[in-house]
A and B are shown apart, each in its own frame.
Chain A
Amino acid sequence: MINFIVEDRNGERTPIEVPEGISLSLMEILKGSDYDILATCGGMALCATCLVKVLQGHEQLTAPSDAELDMLDTLPHYDENNRLSCQIKIDERLEGCVFRIGG
């Protein structure tokens, strides 16, 4: 199992456990767990409504692609720990990470 923590917009943290080997993005897990994200574009790195901030474990994630960086770059407020959750694949790299919903 892969274990990580999600902090909602009110600051409440919940541990999430996901089986290995599933082909999903973090955005899909967050939506499936009823977190308050829109993810309007469905995972194409087009809308940035699935934005998360990586509070812990940023360096262990796969670096953002050009498409993701282009979208992140258009956001008015952004720091280097912001990611689009639709572009983060669920794998063992997420072990121990802490993600906050929103920027």
Chain B
Amino acid sequence: MHCHLIDYLPQTGGQLSEIYPQKPIYDIPGYPTINAQELVDKLMEQIAPFHPKFTLGERVEQLHKQDDGTWLIVTNEGTEITCKVVVIAGGLGCFEPRKPEVDRLEEFEGKGVHYMVRNPELFRGRKVVIAGGGDSALDWTIFLADVAERITLIHRGDTFRGAPDAAEKVFELAKIGKIDLLLKSSVAKLDGSGHLDSLTVATPQGEVRIKTDHFIPLFGLSPKLGPIEHWGLNIDKSAIEVNTLDYSTNVEGIYAIGDINTYPGKLKLILCGFHEAALMAQSAFKYVYPHQRLSFKYTTVYGITELQE
């Protein structure tokens, strides 16, 4: 069987390479201790003879069951892949921008509300309000100060954690009147007809109304299931329910392994992910080749057979 791996992250390895690459892991059999990235590197080396294909930096958005029983997978970039079996090994899900609780926020998404800055030129000569106190709120405030007509930064605290240089620059820009800085304040409500045109801010001095073309709340990222939620799978507390016989889901041809699945007795361990993958692969083979006999072989007896590319 040929495998094709799709991941929204720009590299393989999921949380190991993205979140804690240098952290030691102590519960991988055979390795008293191994750094997360080192484990990923060794796994990549181990699968190399099977020549898997990779689509990285793209997120699977849609799954379509075709008339012949195969699946058509479509990513956010429009990449299409056809396959017989889909295995979801999505870990924590994908990290999406955290949305603040603000009246009418979702109504103005794409109509003045942005959760990240993709194209700074969009804000040239416009009025922009940024909310948040993290590094990205500070950095974009400084960057857009020269691009936008007017920038207002709203922060619920009166100090900023992290990057002292950026915080100092923001205070400096506010002092010389280049930006507006509202501390101990939060956005309460958005207004406009069709497109955002003003927002209401709760400040220590009471409510203030600010005219604006754009509102960019920057409150970090939070893991979400994302599109997986819409594929008809049984979900329990943000995890996919599977049958422990072969880690299949309620949808024929779709399996789920690793941290993204749930079953009675589930342990979120890398070790368990390997076990789940082995059982899934046996079952997937029988599903893909129903008429072919699968003989169980040990690598110590037969070695490995390199797959043709």
**A residues within 8 Å of B by Cβ?**
38, 40-42, 44, 46-49, 69-71, 73-78
Contacts and interface: CB of A to CB of B under 8 A. Distances in A.
Give the dominant DSSP class at B's interface. Answer: loop
A38 B268 CA distance: 14
Q: How large is the interface on B (under 10, 10 to 19, 20 to 34, 35 or more residues)?
A: 20 to 34
Contact of B238 (A38, A44, A76, A77): A38
Given A40-B223, A47-B223, A70-B161, A76 B134 contact: no
B238 A70 contact: no
Contacts of A44: 19-20
Contact of B93 (A40, A69, A76): A40
Interface in B221-247: 222-223, 237-238
A40 B134 contact: no
B222 A49 contact: yes
B178 interface: no
Of the candidates A70, A71, A76, the one having the most CB atoms from chain B within 10 angstroms of its own CB is A76
Given A41-B92, A46-B19, A69-B161, A74 B219 contact: yes
A9 to B, nearest CB: 14
Contacts of B100: 76-77
Interface string B81-100: 00000000000110000111
14 contacts: A38-B237, A42-B259, A46-B19, A70-B161, A73-B133, A73-B134, A74-B219, A74-B220, A75-B98, A75-B219, A76-B100, A76-B132, A76-B217, A78-B156
B134 A74 contact: yes
Contacts of A74: 98, 132-134, 219-220
Contacts of B238: 38, 40
A76 B223 contact: no
B220 to A, nearest CB: 3
B45 interface: no
B52 interface: no
A38 B93 CA distance: 12
B101 interface: yes
Of the candidates A44, A70, A73, A77, the one having the most CB atoms from chain B within 10 angstroms of its own CB is A73
A67 B237 CA distance: 25
A49 B238 CA distance: 11
Contacts of A77: 100-101, 156, 186
Nearest to B20: A44
